[in-house]
């Protein structure tokens, strides 16, 4: 009896973990937060969870599959960052002004996520050499969709035509994503945080002009 009590491990009180899949995924996300895709090391994940290295294989077919799962989580978190910004929008604007403000909000959330969660951002855009397509979760959010609602509003506000919407969407995405990657790869390291902020605003100005 007492023996049993002493044998209770810190991280696990039952023989079966009970929630190993979730634990593996959450730990994987933590690792990826700190070091990006390369920091997702299967053995390290299982070590932290307190389980044998091969235990992960009951829930994920391979490291790739686990990375794919982290990718989904990261993208969902990115969407939350964006929603946090769009939620702040004042409602007493004209449709046109609101649509533009919304676009800026989405871009701001995108850039904030890239900077606050650079590891996860890099995971989102890491190349995952095709995971078994039968395993692909069809209703996964796609990064391309993040700007969609904002662009739809611009169409509704007659700022954009329907024909131009797609190319506008790629234009906005490229510009914002490009700035995000330049920030992350250190190309803007000579600037202060404040200067980067100013640059972001000027980028949005030019994006609006270019639509």
Partner DNA sequence: TGTACATCAGTGAACGCGCGTTCACTGATGTAC
- Which spans of this chain sit near a second copy (rule: CB under 8 A)? 125-127, 143-144, 167-168, 170-171, 173-182, 185-187, 199, 202-203, 206-211
Site for DNA in 25-64 (CB under 7 A): 40-44, 51-55, 57-58, 62-64
Q: How far is CA 23 from the centre of its chain?
A: 19
Cα 81 from Cα 173, distance rounded (Å): 16
Q: Say which entry of DNA, a second copy, none residue 195 contacts (CB below 5 to 8 A, set by partner kind).
A: none
Q: Say which entry of DNA, a second copy, none residue 54 contacts (CB below 5 to 8 A, set by partner kind).
A: DNA
Q: Say which entry of a second copy, DNA, none residue 152 contacts (CB below 5 to 8 A, set by partner kind).
A: none
Question: Is the CB of 68 or the CB of 177 nearer to DNA?
Answer: 68
Query: What six digits make up the tokens of 5?
Result: 């009590």
- CB under 8 Å to 74, separation ≥6 — which residues? 29, 32, 117, 120, 121, 123, 124
Cα 12 from Cα 9, distance rounded (Å): 5
Q: What is the DSSP letter of 50?
A: T
One residue of 18, 22, 88, 205 binding DNA per CB under 7 A: 18
Q: What is the DSSP letter of 191?
A: S
Q: Say which entry of a second copy, DNA, none residue 86 contacts (CB below 5 to 8 A, set by partner kind).
A: none
In Å, the largest CA–CA distance within the chain is: 74
Nearest Cα neighbor of 29 from 132, 100, 165, 121 is 121
Question: Is the CB of 23 or the CB of 176 nearer to a second copy?
Answer: 176
Q: Is 14 in the site for DNA (CB under 7 A)?
A: yes
Question: Is the CB of 3 or the CB of 209 nearer to a second copy?
Answer: 209
One residue of 2, 3, 10, 16 binding DNA per CB under 7 A: 16
Query: Could you tell me if 37 and 78 are in contact, meaning their C-beta atoms sit under 8 angstroms apart?
Result: no
């Amino acid at each position: 009896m007492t023996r049993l009590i002493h044998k209770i491990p810190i991280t696990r009180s039952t023989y079966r973990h009970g929630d190993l899949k979730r634990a593996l995924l959450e730990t994987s996300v933590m690792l990826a937060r700190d070091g990006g895709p390369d920091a997702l090391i299967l053995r390290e994940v299982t070590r932290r969870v307190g389980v044998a290295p091969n235990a992960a294989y009951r829930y994920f077919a391979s490291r790739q599959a686990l990375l794919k799962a982290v990718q989904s989580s990261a993208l969902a978190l990115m969407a939350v960052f964006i929603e946090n910004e769009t939620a702040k929008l004042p409602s007493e604007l004209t449709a046109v002004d609101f649509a533009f403000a919304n676009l800026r909000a989405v871009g701001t959330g995108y850039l904030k996520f890239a900077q606050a969660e650079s590891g996860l951002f890099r995971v989102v855009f890491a190349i995952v050499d095709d995971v078994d397509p039968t395993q692909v979760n069809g209703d996964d959010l796609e990064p391309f969709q993040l700007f969609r609602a904002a662009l739809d509003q611009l169409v509704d506000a007659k700022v954009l035509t329907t024909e131009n919407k797609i190319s506008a969407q790629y234009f906005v995405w490229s510009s914002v994503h490009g700035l995000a990657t330049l920030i992350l790869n250190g190309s803007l390291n000579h600037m202060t945080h404040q200067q980067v902020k100013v640059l972001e605003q000027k980028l949005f100005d030019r994006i609006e002009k270019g639509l």
